[in-house]
Copies of this chain bind each other. A is one copy, B any other.
């Protein structure tokens, strides 16, 4: 590993990362923005059935505060707001890929139960 990790510090660092990414809707928002895609608030509402306006706004705020996504407001009427991944946020993709690869390597007998 890159740093001097102890079991406690490594777990705590990963927990910090998880806190940034978990939450009922964050991942699905992120995957709708990966690859440089730009989406308006209303686009995301349509892309994510079942999400409430409160939750969409809240999760977007948190992702923005953590620097994973960027929010751009156009001073027009009616309002127009765009969301996109930050450069750093985009670089999350390979790490999530590693997790997906790991899941695919799961022994077959476990995939059912």
Q: Chain A interface (Cβ within 8 Å of chain B)? A: 1-3, 5, 7-8, 10-18, 21-22, 27-28, 30-32, 34, 47, 65-67, 88, 91-92, 94-107, 110, 113
Q: Does B3 lie within 8 Å of A27, measured CB to CB?
A: no
Question: Bound complex: CA of A8 vs CA of B110, how far in Å?
Answer: 23
Q: Given contacts A31-B7, A67-B107, A106-B88, are A96 and B21 in contact (CB under 8 A)?
A: no
- B-chain residues with CB within 8 Å of residue A91 when the two chains form the complex: 102, 105
Question: Bound complex: CA of A31 vs CA of B99, how far in Å?
Answer: 16
Looking at the assembled complex, report how far the CB atom of A31 sits from the nearest CB atom of chain B, in whole angstroms.
Answer: 4
- B-chain residues with CB within 8 Å of residue A96 when the two chains form the complex: 10, 14
Question: Bound complex: CA of A34 vs CA of B101, how far in Å?
Answer: 19
Q: Does B98 lie within 8 Å of A98, measured CB to CB?
A: yes
Q: Does B67 lie within 8 Å of A1, measured CB to CB?
A: no
- B-chain residues with CB within 8 Å of residue A30 when the two chains form the complex: 11
